[in-house]
């Protein structure tokens, strides 16, 4: 295998269990990873959990647990939601920022930063005093301008005034180079408007940022700065390289770094398009090739939030629609990257329409006719007798939604072929033609199954097995109708 593909999701905070937003990004990454594996590329798909910081410590205290116990538990809940009995996320590695290896790697990274010089020959880190308004919900300092009625607009709570001695990262020395790499496309930011947004941040001259905290206890302690821990965002961003063994073991780094695709939503784009490249440059590492920043979706027009009570648990979706049904429903709603709405109220209708009546019915009726009219003998000749055009929208260009639209039209094409040729009439007079029609339909079904493999892996494998056997039998419904 010569080509490699390294894809990452954000690592999710464990202050709460996973919801449809986390599931969405993770699913997109899973689809792309499966697609690249299917194409024979040496693929590494990383996801995990972000477990340090005051937000997590507060949540643990609320549950009367130690932070570590709490993190173990909630991280486990994420793993379960992704496992083969739930969403079926085939990651290659699940990193936790409380892994001792990661923690040590973060200390090593800080040590390197401490010794490093910027392109302008200044020390990368310097000590300074910071006073600011800190929102624990965001795990970041807010400016007065960002507050709404004195409150953090996202968390509706007043930020605390924090004053402490910290290490700062000399970001200013890196901004011109980051800008140049984004403009030249060396660091590709997609979609285009998110690239412009990143360039906009740089134009505003993002100030140097503090990379250590003395007010926070639950974090990676820094031996060179007693009493201080690593700022949770530096700890978190580092995961993308510590998961590969950086800096102690460079074997996987040499194989997979730089990342080919880093996925996230816009809430954390600034950290990834500014701070992360600066950190990598300070470590003398190449930048990721592509960052894809998708929108934050609403649920039936409303922000997903506990107070509205519309937070969707992916496990509930899997219980209702099955693994592949859920994967389909989440990915077929809107083009990736669009500011969009997840129409959860239409999930059942879409499931019945596209899956039960569409793909499920096609497979069931075809298998049934083959069994009844042809004694199950597989009629597929693989001659590509329909001259199928296999060009679907490119998953490599993130066209997952468009790809599913094209697959639906293949399913419709197969259903129309049956309706037009009416094998139930044909069989009375012309067995050879019946066999040919069912063979053509079967060929379409196999094509659909093959194309669906990255999106609906379990159903795809089932259909492929059924339609490549010598004897095709009717099996239980793939997508039972829901009332
Ligand atoms: N821990 C940080 C990320 C550190 S990465 C080095 C974090 N965690 S998070 O749990 O808040 O996850 C944020 C991510 O979850 C988003 O960037 C996105 O991938 C996903 N989403 C959460 N809610 C979402 C929506 N409503 N819509 C789409 N994606 C959503 O930030």
Give the rounded distance of the alpha carbon of 402 from its chain centre: 18
Does residue 237 have its Cβ closer than 6 Å to ligand 1? yes
Query: Does the active-site annotation cover 421?
Result: no
Q: What is the DSSP letter of 219?
A: S
pLDDT of residue 424: 97
Instruction: Look at residue 47 and tell me whether its pLDDT is greater than 90.
Output: yes
Confidence band for 384, pLDDT divided at 50, 70 and 90:
low
Instruction: Look at residue 382 and tell me whether its pLDDT is greater than 80.
Output: no
Query: Does the active-site annotation cover 303?
Result: yes
Contact 423, 434 (CB under 8 A): yes
DSSP per-residue letters across 74-110: HHHHHHHHHSTTTT----SEEEETTSHHHHHHHHHHH
Question: What is the average per-residue pLDDT within 315-326?
Answer: 98
Contact 297, 341 (CB under 8 A): yes
* Interval 1-30: pLDDT, tens: 579 999 999 999 999 999 999 999 999 999
Contact 329, 20 (CB under 8 A): no
Query: Does the active-site annotation cover 152?
Result: yes
CA of 92 to the centre of ligand 1 (A): 20
pLDDT of residue 1: 53
Instruction: Look at residue 386 and tell me whether its pLDDT is greater than 80.
Output: no
pLDDT of residue 387: 62
Query: Does the active-site annotation cover 255?
Result: no
Determine, yes or no, domain membership for 432.
yes
Query: Does the active-site annotation cover 306?
Result: yes
Determine, yes or no, domain membership for 283.
no
Determine, yes or no, domain membership for 476.
no
pLDDT of residue 457: 98
Determine, yes or no, domain membership for 316.
no
CA of 480 to the centre of ligand 1 (A): 32
CA–CA separation, 420 and 409 (whole Å): 16
Does residue 304 have its Cβ closer than 6 Å to ligand 1? yes
CA of 337 to the centre of ligand 1 (A): 14
Task: Return the best residue to mutate from 25, 234, 262, 275 for the ligand 1 pocket (most ligand atoms within 8 A of CB).
Answer: 25
Contact 107, 220 (CB under 8 A): yes
Does residue 276 have its Cβ closer than 6 Å to ligand 1? no
Does residue 341 have its Cβ closer than 6 Å to ligand 1? no
Domain count, the chain: 1
CA–CA separation, 309 and 367 (whole Å): 43
Determine, yes or no, domain membership for 478.
no
Question: What is the average per-residue pLDDT within 405-416?
Answer: 96
Which range is least confidently modeled, 126-130, 292-296, 433-437?
Answer: 126-130
pLDDT of residue 353: 97
For ligand 1, atom 9: residue with the closest CA: 12
CA–CA separation, 411 and 429 (whole Å): 27
Which range is least confidently modeled, 69-83, 126-140, 398-412, 429-443?
Answer: 126-140
Atom of ligand 1 nearest to the CA of 13: 10
pLDDT of residue 30: 98
Atom of ligand 1 nearest to the CA of 298: 26
Confidence band for 281, pLDDT divided at 50, 70 and 90:
very high
* Interval 164-184: pLDDT, tens: 889 999 999 999 999 999 999
* Interval 438-463: pLDDT, tens: 999 999 999 999 999 999 999 999 99
**Domain coverage including residue 393:** 345-467
Domain containing 438 — which CATH number? 1.10.730.10
Does residue 25 have its Cβ closer than 6 Å to ligand 1? yes
Instruction: Look at residue 31 and tell me whether its pLDDT is greater than 60.
Output: yes
Determine, yes or no, domain membership for 385.
yes
What is the pTM for the complete model shown?
Answer: 0.94
CA triple 246-128-157, angle to 5 deg:
85
Closest by CA position to 73, among listed 60, 86, 84, 92: 60
Residue keyed to tokens 């009546």:
357
Task: Return the best residue to mutate from 12, 23, 95 for the ligand 1 pocket (most ligand atoms within 8 A of CB).
Answer: 12
Closest by CA position to 342, among listed 317, 371, 367, 359: 317
The percentage of the chain sitting over the pLDDT mark of 70, rounded to a whole number, equals 98
Of the listed 22, 140, 272, 294, which one is catalytic?
22
Provide the token pair at 449.
Answer: 């199954």
Determine, yes or no, domain membership for 386.
yes
Does residue 138 have its Cβ closer than 6 Å to ligand 1? no
* Interval 91-112: pLDDT, tens: 999 999 999 999 999 999 999 9
Q: In what order do the strands lie in the sheet with 140-142?
A: 140-142, 125-135, 160-169, 209-210
Determine, yes or no, domain membership for 197.
no
Provide the token pair at 291.
Answer: 């960052």
pLDDT of residue 131: 83
The percentage of the chain sitting over the pLDDT mark of 90, rounded to a whole number, equals 89
């Amino acid at each position: 295998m010569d080509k490699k593909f390294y894809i990452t999701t954000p690592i999710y905070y464990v202050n709460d269990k996973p919801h449809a937003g986390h599931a969405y990004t993770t699913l997109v990454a899973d689809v792309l990873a499966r697609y690249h594996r299917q194409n024979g590329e040496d693929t590494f798909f990383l996801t995990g959990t972000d477990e340090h910081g005051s937000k997590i410590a507060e949540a643990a205290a609320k549950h009367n647990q130690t932070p570590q116990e709490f993190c173990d538990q909630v991280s486990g809940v994420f793993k379960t939601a992704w496992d083969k009995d739930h969403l079926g996320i085939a990651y290659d590695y699940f990193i936790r920022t409380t892994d001792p290896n990661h923690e040590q790697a973060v200390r090593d990274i800080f040590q390197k930063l401490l010794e490093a010089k910027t392109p302008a020959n200044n020390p990368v880190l310097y000590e300074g005093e910071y006073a600011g308004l800190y929102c624990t919900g965001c795990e970041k300092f807010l400016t007065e301008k960002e507050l709404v009625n004195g409150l953090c607009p996202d968390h509706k709570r007043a930020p605390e005034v924090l004053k402490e001695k910290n290490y700062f990262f000399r970001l200013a020395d890196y901004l011109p180079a980051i800008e140049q790499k984004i403009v030249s496309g060396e660091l590709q930011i997609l979609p285009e408007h998110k690239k412009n947004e990143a360039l906009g941040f740089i134009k505003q001259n993002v100030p140097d940022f503090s990379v250590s905290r003395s007010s926070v206890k639950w974090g990676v302690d820094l031996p060179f700065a007693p009493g201080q821990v690593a700022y949770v965002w530096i700890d978190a961003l580092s995961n993308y390289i510590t998961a590969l063994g950086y800096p102690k073991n460079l074997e996987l780094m040499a194989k997979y770094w730089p990342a080919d695709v880093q996925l996230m939503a816009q809430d954390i784009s600034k950290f990834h398009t500014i701070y992360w490249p600066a950190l990598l440059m300070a470590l003398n590492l190449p930048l990721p090739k592509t960052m894809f920043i998708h929108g934050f979706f609403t649920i039936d027009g409303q922000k997903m939030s506990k107070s509205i009570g519309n937070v969707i648990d992916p496990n509930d979706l899997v219980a209702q629609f099955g693994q592949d049904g859920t994967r389909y429903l989440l990915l077929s709603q809107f083009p990736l990257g669009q500011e969009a709405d997840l129409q959860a109220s239409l999930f059942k209708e879409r499931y019945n329409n596209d899956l039960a009546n569409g793909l499920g019915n096609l497979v069931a009726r075809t298998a049934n006719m083959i069994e009844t009219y042809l004694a199950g003998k597989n009629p597929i000749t693989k001659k590509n007798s329909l001259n199928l055009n296999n060009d679907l929208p490119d998953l490599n260009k993130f066209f997952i939604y468009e790809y599913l639209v094209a697959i639906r039209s293949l399913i419709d094409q197969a259903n129309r072929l049956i309706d037009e040729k009416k094998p139930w009439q044909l069989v009375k007079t012309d067995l050879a033609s019946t066999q040919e029609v069912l063979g053509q339909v079967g060929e379409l079904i196999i094509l659909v199954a093959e194309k669906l493999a990255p999106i609906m892996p379990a159903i795809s494998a089932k259909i492929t097995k059924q339609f490549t056997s010598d004897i095709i039998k009717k099996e239980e419904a793939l997508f039972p109708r829901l009332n």
